[in-house]
Amino acid sequence: MLIKIAWRNIWRSKGRSMVVMGSIIVGIWALISAVGFMNGFMVGYMADIINHDISNIQIHNPEFKSDQEVKYVIPDGKKKVNEIRKWTEVEGATSRIIVSGMIASARKGSAVQIRGVDKSNEAKVTELDSLVNEGTYFDGIKRNPILLGKKLAEELKVKVKSKVILTFMDESGTPISARFRVAGIINTSSVNLNEMTAFVLNEDIGRLLGSYEIHEIAILTMPRIEEEVVLNKYNDLFKGDLVETWTQVAPELELLNEMYGSMMYVLVFIVMMALVFGIVNTMLMAVLERIRELGMLMAVGMTRIKVFLMVLLETIFLGILGSPIGLFFGWLMMYYYTTNGIDLSAYSEGLESFGYSSILYPYVDSSTYLIVTVSVIITAFIGAVYPAWKAIKLKPVEALHAI
Amino acid sequence: MSIIKAENINKTYNENTIPVHALNHVNLEIDRGEFTAIVGPSGCGKTTLLNILGGLDQPTTGKVTISDTEITSMKDSELIDFRLKNIGFVFQAYNLIPVLTTAENVEFIMLLQKRPKEERDQRGMELLREMGIEEKARQRPSQLSGGQQQRVAVARALASKPQFVLADEPTANLDSTSTTQLLDIMAKMNEEEGATFVFSTHDQRVIDKARRVVTLEDGKIVSDEKR
């Protein structure tokens, strides 16, 4: 009977119930959308950097980290990378020769990190080929092809097939200059790749340096394989190298990840607070409107706990009704935008300078829907506690004579 | 044998500011099967006395005993349970639950008493039949006239088989025909089922039907007439 009364009570004032349900619907929809957009911004940004730049694990000579000199190579690096590629936990591994130097065009010069890459394996690990926006992935140029970031190319005022000069020092400190020709221009949201990196082939930079020893191994682990597994395996097999996961290579990303988590909590808290006050206000009205009836219920023998439960049940019913609708709208919006993306190209200049993509692909994982729904229902429950408490604080004799 | 015994009841409102003495040394005993009207002008303390007899309000001093159980010393939760098991209430404004049907309103009290469904259905329909509104069983209170609603309220009060029914100005909102019908039903229930009724009123038609008339003035009993 309690359930029956509570259920029918919510239809007594349809407008008011719609307001509570509307708050719940908008609350769920807003949270799902907010999580989706934040994921699109932050996780997309992080995934971009991890997938196209850092990869899951990097290996260096321990000295290389503090002083990026040519001499700090990984001993037997090529053998090690060949071995790693055989591991079942690893999807791909690539070797890099890294030198700091200068790049100069006919117009301008700039400091860059010259990154020698293994053409096919780099494509497997970082999908560098997919970032090529103009020109080709090292193809079509017979001697010394080079890939530049879009921003760097713009700064140097070079195009595909333009000539650039790379200047760097070999292990003995002898300056080396060589002419390269732009094979392709890459476009990525990573500021590092876009503005400060020049990609060349390992064989070209190795030939110029007089050594094909490598400075960096980048590893892409298999999906759902913890980086620690590969890291431990490497350390067991090979001693003396510095093996780091992406969180160690780029601690700022880890920090960003934590900050993003905190921002989510703040956002959820703000939405929930708005919802709580909306529900408290509306349910309080529902209680105050029925003072005489509640007084009668307690006068004839309905216990205070049952009156309390009745008011709570009314809100919970509204939550149960509103949640699927809010979920549906949230899911619908995410479904559309996850597929089509949101074109933010009007703001792309500003966004890209911060490392964000101009097309935003929001997404939420399935657990988010559950968490948001449960959170909103709990919030609705909390919002109903005060009106329910007000109801049981009524004195029957006073409530019965309330106007 | 008295089922209600009020001894030296005093009720003072606003004790700390401007005291208003609603009841002044009231002593009253009501026997099983009585049909009693508490009468008097507005503000004489009728409703206050009824509220105290029904355990809805506490006297400032004095005690109320219902069938050898003193209710004035009971805790709030004990009083709720006591009222459920022993007292039926009829209110001036009917106070039916608007979202329940007539039959559900009558069964509601029995449900709180955890009576089995069969008994609830049977007793509910029996009472509605007695009240002459059996055909309204599936209708909601808003679809009934004032007189019909008050008959549902009487049926609800009697559904729990209480020791007595307290009715506060039960006919105040009713027209003459409805008042007569309601009084006839209450008198019939009193005679046939032995239900004890205590009602406050200043309606002469109700006073004429009563078999005992207790008159209050300024919070004091000034006459107690048995007919």
pLDDT digits (tens, 9 = 90+) for A309-355: 999 998 888 888 888 999 899 999 988 988 888 877 666 665 555 55
Of A11, A299, A302, the CB nearest to B56: A299
**Measured between CA atoms, how close is B213 to chain A, in angstroms?**
24
What percentage of chain A has pLDDT greater than the value 90?
41
Mark yes or no for CB contact A292/B109 under 8 Å.
no
User: How close is the nearest chain A Cα to the Cα of B227, in Å?
Assistant: 31
Q: Which residues of A touch B149 (CB under 8 A)?
A: none
Query: A2 or B8: whose pLDDT is higher?
Result: B8
Q: Are A78 and A212 within 8 A, CB to CB?
A: yes
Residue A261, burial from CB neighbour count under 10 angstroms (0-12, 13-18, 19+): exposed
pLDDT of residue A351: 57
Nearest beta carbon to residue A296 from set B51, B91, B113: B91
Asked if B165 and B3 count as a contact pair (C-beta separation under 8 A), the reply is: no
Residue B80: its chain A contacts at CB < 8 A? 298, 301-304
CB B131 within 8 A of CB B90: no
A350: CB partners within 8 A, 6+ apart = none
DSSP 8-state symbol, A95? E
The CA distance from A379 to the nearest CA of chain B, in Å, is 27
**Mean pLDDT over all residues of chain A?**
87
Give how far Cα A362 sits from Cα of A17, A337, B116, Å. 32, 6, 56
Kindly report the nearest CA distance between residue B100 and chain A, in angstroms: 7
Closest by Cα among A274, A276, A373 to A327: A373
Average pLDDT over residues A272-288: 86
CB pairs under 8 A between A and B: 62
pLDDT tens digit sequence for A12-64: 888 888 888 888 888 889 888 888 888 887 777 777 778 888 889 999 999 99
Question: At B113, which CATH number?
Answer: 3.40.50.300
| Average pLDDT of span A251-270 | 83
Q: What is the mean pLDDT of residues A275-284?
A: 86
Mean per-residue pLDDT, A180-200: 89
The reported pLDDT for the residue numbered A37 is: 85
- pLDDT digit string (tens) for B175-185? 888 888 888 88
Whether residue B80 and residue A9 make contact (CB cut-off 8 A), yes or no, is: no
Contacts of A292 in chain B (CB under 8 A): 93, 95
**% of residues, chain B, pLDDT over 90:** 62
The Cα B223–Cα B7 span in angstroms is 16
On chain A, the residues whose CB falls within 8 A of the CB of B104 are 1, 4
CB contact under 8 A, B89 and A302: no
Given a cut of 80, is residue A195 above it in pLDDT? yes
At residue A180, the pLDDT reads 96
Given this model, what pLDDT does residue A349 score? 60
pLDDT (mean) for B30-45: 92
Between B96 and A359, residue with greater pLDDT: B96
Concatenated DSSP letters of A171-203: TT--EEEEEEEEEEEE--S-HHHHHHEEEEEHH
Best to test chain B binding among A2, A11, A14, A296 (most B CBs inside 10 Å): A296
**pLDDT in the model for residue A152:** 93
Q: By percentage, how much of chain B surpasses pLDDT 70?
A: 100
> B13, B42, B52, B56: best mutation site toward chain A, by most A Cβ within 10 Å?
B56
ipTM over 0.85: yes
Domain residues for the domain of B26 are 2-226
Q: Taking CB atoms and an 8 Å cutoff, what residues of chain B touch A300?
A: 83-84, 89, 108-109, 112, 156
Rounded CA gap, A174 and A204, in Å?
17
pLDDT tens by residue, B140-181? 999 999 889 999 998 999 888 898 999 998 888 888 888 888
- Residues in A whose CB is inside 8 Å of some CB of B read 1, 4-5, 8-9, 11-12, 292-293, 296-304, 396-397, 400-401
Query: Looking at per-residue confidence, does A279 or A205 come out higher?
Result: A205
pLDDT, tens digit (0-9, with 9 covering 90-100), for A343-386 = 776 666 655 555 555 677 888 888 888 888 888 888 888 888 99
Provide the domain count of chain B: 1
Stretch A226-247: mean pLDDT: 90
- What does the pLDDT read at residue B18? 85
**Hey, are the CB atoms on B109 and A1 less than 8 Å from each other?**
no
Which range (B29-33, B82-86, B183-187) has the least confidence? B183-187
Q: How confident is the model at residue B223 (pLDDT cuts 50, 70, 90)?
A: very high
